[in-house]
A and B are shown apart, each in its own frame.
Chain A
Amino acid sequence: MEKILEVKDLKVSFQVYGGEVQAVRGINFDLYKGETLAVVGESGSGKSVLNQTIMKLIPMPPGKITGGQILFHGQDIVKKTDKEMEKIRGKEISMIFQDPMTSLNPTMKVGHQIMEVLLKHQNMKSQQAKERAIELLRLVGIPMPEKRVNQYPHEFSGGMRQRAMIAIALAANPSLLIADEPTTALDVTIQAQILELMKDLQKKMDTSIIFITHDLGVVANVADRVAVMYAGQIVEIGTVDEIFYDPRHPYTWGLLASMPSLDSDHKSELAAIPGTPPDLTNPPKGDAFAARNQYAMAIDFEEEPPMFQISETHFAKTWLLHPDAPKVEPPEAVKRKMRKLSSTFDKPVLVKEGK
């Protein structure tokens, strides 16, 4: 499969009063054509910063890319100037935001906001662009697009606005779409419609999607692969089945166990992850999750764990996979869903640094 994006040892930090916040601390991943990678993690885990960095949308200063590469179609985005980025944003990579009300311009007709992209990137004539805008609105399932194209965002409902946002994002046929919590502000029924729409459009256009969310139900629905982020690092990455049916990192266990499932007994207590995420101005020594981790060992407080490879596609960053580590049992709620996957290696393999 064709790789469209390679992120290599990316580090991003922000200069703030009181020090330097290391928001992204050495991230590696690849994205293939036509796949959906879900990025999960709690607020402050760096998932939004990671994706804004790929778009080069972080304000610099105070933000700064302190190391690493972002190869998009083989070209390093980190080195691009603002002028060069303008040609990529909206055309090659586009973004859908969480709140459709604040990310649409309230003083511009919806049709014009779609046409803007077409006029800039596709060199269309205004009449032609308008026809295409109507077509795009129809594509995203907005009824009566001929009328809707001349309306303002406030005349649209929340779900309709998000559809209009998707139409804008897809107007120039981007090869990468970054969706930052696109359904969090929506109701479940509307959320289901938007997710169906996104999957449908992905099939038609063969777009790759990075989908940021904290809802594991949504992840299970849309993702091909999942990256779990904690304190600015990817702690586990694998196919959606590997993450849900064979998770290896205690933080992933914690996330899975803290969600009530519909068949769970409501007399039992939810397995909450105690404490709060660490302060990234002074990232803790060793494993950043150690302080909240009931399985933490002495080494977790001393030395940062390396990546271990569990299968061709599955990686986890925890000392528990080391051959000398004691065998531990994941929480009950996770164990119930565990199953043996055929692709798993006999033994976790240590990944050499700098992969």
Chain B
Amino acid sequence: MEDKLLEIKHLKQYFNIGRPNQVKAVDDVSFDIYRGETLGLVGESGCGKSTTGRTIIRLYDATSGQVLFNGENVHGKKSNSELKKFNRKMQMIFQDPYASLNPRMTVADIIAEGIDIHGLAKGKKERMERVYELLETVGLNKEHANRYPHEFSGGQRQRIGIARALAVEPEFIIADEPISALDVSIQAQVVNLMKKLQREKGLTYLFIAHDLSMVKYISDRIGVMYFGKLVELAPADDLYKNAMHPYTKSLLSAIPLPDPESERTRRRILYDPASHHYGENEKVEMREIAPGHLVYCSENEFEQYKTQYKK
């Protein structure tokens, strides 16, 4: 099997524990991310997909469960130097390119912040050279270094965000809805850039989004989340051809396609969580119905799905 970069084991993230408004944002989620792949995470707002990303990178302290990065646990007590090491290897790109760049800092300082903190450049000259190089990597140029974020368009700002993430030479990038705030014509530019960087630098991505057609395009494997649970995890093509979990089916049937003919004949499938009729003692968990294709189901459903599954 391929090399696992990240193992997420029974990750739980609860908020307001013990209070009446307790929320199980992420509820016992387990999956692996392999080196060099893109894992897409989809689901509707509030399903816990962003929280999963943020807990993995330790923006939240996990309630329980483990996140193993290269075999080492990310959570738990850490010294400052250990933390620094992790922060360098994992970076994040945020959704809103307007809110995630400090308006009072120049682009050069934004990008170089990580370089300064981790002491990756000896002297001013090397620091600026790194910044110029990064700007060029993401399709901007040298002249942009001394400008401020407000002078850039949304697509350009997202490129600055990507350059900032790349500055510390990470292995793993969490992209939380990186293109949702951008125009269609610009979305493709950013997605192409992310794919190019992945090819050149061997990056691993966790790509969180709700635009399923874009997720399908960029991802090798896709996980579908519903109310804090991972309900299906499969290779991208397989998920679209052989969706098993009724929630995945309903989600797929809701995507409008840019094709008037198929839109006229489209039938939406509705998902009712009560349709599973899980018994009290029935064990519901992720089960592998085909190599690499996992579905959250009970024993009975498991048999049923396996017969339904088409090669």
Q: Which residue numbers of A lie inside 8 Å of B, CB to CB?
A: 42-43, 158, 187-192, 195-196, 214-221, 223, 240-241, 244-245, 254-256, 258-262, 264, 266, 269-274, 276, 337
Docked pose: A221 CA to B266 CA in angstroms: 9
Pairs A–B under 8 Å by Cβ, sample size 9 = A191-B254, A195-B256, A220-B257, A241-B260, A244-B260, A259-B258, A260-B217, A270-B217, A274-B189
For residue B232, give the distance in angstroms from its CB to the closest CB of chain A: 15
Inter-chain contact A255/B184, CB cutoff 8 Å: yes
Residues 237-286 (chain B) with a chain A CB within 8 angstroms: 240, 250-251, 254-263, 266, 268, 271
B195: chain A residues at CB < 8 Å are 269
Docked pose: A255 CA to B186 CA in angstroms: 10
Q: Given A255-B185, A260-B213, A269-B195, are A244 and B259 also a contact pair (CB < 8 Å)?
A: yes
For residue A173, give the distance in angstroms from its CB to the closest CB of chain B: 27
A-B contact count (CB 8 A): 115
Q: Which residue numbers of B lie inside 8 Å of A, CB to CB?
A: 44-45, 153-156, 183-189, 191-192, 195, 210, 212-214, 216-219, 236, 240, 250-251, 254-263, 266, 268, 271
Inter-chain contact A188/B251, CB cutoff 8 Å: yes
For residue B194, give the distance in angstroms from its CB to the closest CB of chain A: 11
For residue B187, give the distance in angstroms from its CB to the closest CB of chain A: 7
Inter-chain contact A187/B44, CB cutoff 8 Å: yes
Inter-chain contact B189/A272, CB cutoff 8 Å: yes
Q: Given A256-B258, A266-B236, are A216 and B213 also a contact pair (CB < 8 Å)?
A: no
For residue A23, give the distance in angstroms from its CB to the closest CB of chain B: 16
A189: chain B residues at CB < 8 Å are 44, 250-251, 254, 271
Inter-chain contact A270/B191, CB cutoff 8 Å: yes
Docked pose: A122 CA to B163 CA in angstroms: 57
Inter-chain contact B191/A276, CB cutoff 8 Å: no
Of all chain A residues, the one with the shortest Cβ separation from B255 is A188
B261: chain A residues at CB < 8 Å are 241
Docked pose: A190 CA to B254 CA in angstroms: 9
Q: Point out the residue from B250, B256, B259, B263 that lies within 8 Å of A191, measured CB to CB.
A: B256
Docked pose: A101 CA to B238 CA in angstroms: 37
Inter-chain contact A192/B240, CB cutoff 8 Å: no
Of all chain B residues, the one with the shortest Cβ separation from A251 is B185
B256: chain A residues at CB < 8 Å are 188, 191-192, 195, 215, 217-218, 220-221
5 tightest Cβ-Cβ pairs between the two chains A and B: A217-B256, A260-B217, A272-B188, A258-B188, A187-B44
Please give 20 more A-B residue pairs, beta carbons under 8 A apart, in addition to A261-B213, A273-B188: A43-B183, A187-B44, A191-B256, A192-B256, A214-B183, A214-B184, A215-B256, A216-B184, A217-B213, A218-B256, A219-B258, A220-B260, A223-B260, A254-B185, A255-B185, A266-B216, A269-B192, A270-B191, A276-B153, A337-B259
Inter-chain contact B210/A262, CB cutoff 8 Å: no
Inter-chain contact B258/A220, CB cutoff 8 Å: yes
Docked pose: A12 CA to B120 CA in angstroms: 52
Q: Given A269-B192, A271-B188, are A216 and B251 also a contact pair (CB < 8 Å)?
A: no
A270: chain B residues at CB < 8 Å are 188, 191-192, 217
Docked pose: A192 CA to B187 CA in angstroms: 22
For residue A121, give the distance in angstroms from its CB to the closest CB of chain B: 33
